[in-house]
Amino acid sequence: MGRALVRALTEMDGVAVSAAIEREGSLDLGRDAGELAGVGPIGVRLTDDPLTAFAAAEGVLDFTAPRASLAFAELAAQARIVHVIGTTGWQDGDSAPLKAAARHARIVKSGNMSLGINLLAALVRKAATALDEDFDIEIVEMHHRHKVDAPSGTALLLGEAAAQGRWIPLAERSVRVRDGHTGPRHKGDIGFATLRGGSVVGDHTVILAGQGERIELTHRAEDRQIFARGAVKAALWARDKKPGLYSMADVLGLSD
């Protein structure tokens, strides 16, 4: 995503790359971020010094790993800047430190930065409300072979939308793995299925399966630039907002 973000930042108006961060020891440190992203040199060399980078920036676009994003949120709070978090794979205990950082930083966090998925989430919420528990909800996702977390952040976002539509807590009703003699499906559960392989950018389908009929709502991401452009849009949106924890639905005007 780092390369996609640099490409988006060089293509879009009103933004510029002030720094690009890699981990200590990375072989790419010192290389030009634009050259790595395939857009030619932009005069910004990869650094492993986030403190200096954050101090000089108005916002940070962060697609890394939960531990790194938590550390970056603390730095964004100290620098009082915008922090856009696309990272997925969060654990239960991660939300408290993020909320603490959002007292000073303007944080936009979403498992998916695309317009299409956030619109799909709104449709799923509506469908889950309209169709009662006689319609079983299952969420299927497929991603490229390099993805390390499951279910995807997007699948969980869509599951949350379905749970909101049904007024149920997702954590208590989600079934994330099935194996062996599982017994019959429990009415009202929200199931997840994960596929991994090849170069798939990101496919998500929410199935509402009833007796004798089935609705399938699908989004297929074809290009990672949709996530990068969404992240830049989120940063520009958050620039004049108060400190807080926002979602991509807030950015796109899709929240209730």
Ligand X SMILES: O=C(O)C1=N[C@H](C(=O)O)C[C@H](O)C1
Catalytic residues: 143, 147
Q: Verify binding: residue 88, ligand X, rule CB under 6 A.
A: yes
CA distance linking residue 56 with residue 104, whole number of Å: 17
Among 31, 147, 176, 196, binds ligand X (CB under 6 A): 147
Q: How many residues bind ligand NDP (CB under 6 A)?
A: 20
Q: Verify binding: residue 52, ligand NDP, rule CB under 6 A.
A: no
Q: Verify binding: residue 65, ligand NDP, rule CB under 6 A.
A: yes
Beta bridge partners of 219: 204
Q: Verify binding: residue 143, ligand X, rule CB under 6 A.
A: yes
Q: Verify binding: residue 247, ligand NDP, rule CB under 6 A.
A: no
Assigned token pair, 209: 């399966």
| Integer Rg of the chain from CA | 19
7 by DSSP, 3-state: which?
helix
Beta bridge partners of 193: 140
Structural contact between residues 88 and 63, judged by C-beta atoms closer than 8 angstroms:
no
Nearest distance in Å: CB 82, ligand NDP: 16
Neighbours of 3 (CB within 10 A): 16
When CB distances are held under 5 to 8 angstroms depending on the partner's kind, the choice from ligand NDP, ligand X, none that residue 143 binds is ligand X
Among 11, 23, 134, 185, binds ligand NDP (CB under 6 A): 23
What do you get for the CA distance between the two ends of the chain, in Å? 30
Nearest distance in Å: CB 187, ligand X: 27
Q: Is the dihedral of CA 230, 232, 233, 238 positive or negative?
A: positive
Q: How many residues bind ligand X (CB under 6 A)?
A: 10
Among 34, 50, 153, 165, binds ligand X (CB under 6 A): 153
Nearest distance in Å: CB 21, ligand NDP: 5
CA distance linking residue 112 with residue 26, whole number of Å: 27
Write out the residues near ligand NDP by the rule CB under 6 A.
Answer: 1-2, 21-23, 26, 63-65, 68, 86-89, 110-113, 153, 227
